Amino acid sequence: MPAAHATVPATDEGLLRGDGIFEVIRLYAGRPFALDEHLQRLERSGRNLRLALDVAAVRADIEALLAAATPGDAQLRVVVTRGGRRVGIVEPLHEHAEAIALACVTYAPPRILDGVKSLSYAGNMLATRLAQEAGADEALLVTPHRRVLEGPTSSLFASLDGETLVTPPLDEHILDSITRRRVLELTGAGERSLTLDEVLAARELFLASTTREVQAVRSVDGRAVATAPGPLTLAAQGAFRARVARELL
């Protein structure tokens, strides 16, 4: 049915308390990328949130929805609420510029939600709005101690020396992004904590996520990045797109 015709009871705690889980899966010509990994993470989120989840039923919902949908490039949002509702929506992709500007927003991750991709995303969305109010395109989440974490819906990769890539480690309480995993594997990037001063002086920066793939960063808090997109960013873009093509053969 059209998404606007679907309903969820007003008493569902997914609405009232943000008590639920979700995944967003990229569709290439109607085919889901890394579906098994997304479902595994959904199951892990449900387990960590103590939310009962029938993964086989979710997979069946996805298969039925994609069979009825018009094939094309899009994104698939899967939501499971505390009230037991399963929701699947095929959404249009947002347009992403070649390179974007970031503004830092102070953020302390809620550690009790480690390993949970929950519906409680108001803080992440507010961070984006605060960054846009400051004249940027997107937020860069930074702890009160000036450690750089990630974007509200993306992972950050940096080249400090122009030759290698690094990204903050998962023990900084960031999302275990599926795209982040692929980029780590494809580029040989390392994992270590990053300070804001290091990021402001980086030779290259890019964000990685399901919907944006690999996207260059051109500035942080008004300070221009040396190259955007730089050679490492372009190489990561090419390698990731080739990997998608191989996996969907």
Question: Residue 43 belongs to what H/E stretch?
Answer: helix 35-48
Amino acid type, 127: A
Superfamily designation of domain 99-247: D-amino Acid Aminotransferase, subunit A, domain 2 (3.20.10.10)
Contact 148, 140 (CB under 8 A): yes
Using alpha carbons only, give the angle 145, 109, 27 rounded to the nearest 5 degrees.
125
Backbone angles phi, psi at 224, to 5 degrees: -70, 140
pLDDT per residue of the chain (249 residues) written in tens, 0 to 9: 888 999 999 999 999 999 999 999 999 999 999 999 999 999 999 999 999 999 999 999 999 999 999 999 999 999 999 999 999 999 999 999 999 999 999 999 989 999 999 999 999 999 999 999 999 999 999 999 999 999 999 999 999 999 999 999 999 999 999 999 999 999 999 999 999 999 999 999 999 999 999 999 999 999 999 999 999 999 999 999 999 999 998
Question: Residue 58 belongs to what H/E stretch?
Answer: helix 55-68
Going 189 to 190 to 192 to 194, the CA torsion angle's sign is negative
Q: What is the pTM of this model?
A: 0.95
Four-CA torsion 51, 56, 59, 64, nearest 10 degrees: -120
**CATH 3.30.470.10 intervals, the chain:** 3-91
**CATH 3.20.10.10 intervals, the chain:** 99-247
CATH code matching the domain that covers 3-91, chosen among 3.30.470.10, 3.40.50.300, 3.40.50.740, 3.65.10.10 = 3.30.470.10
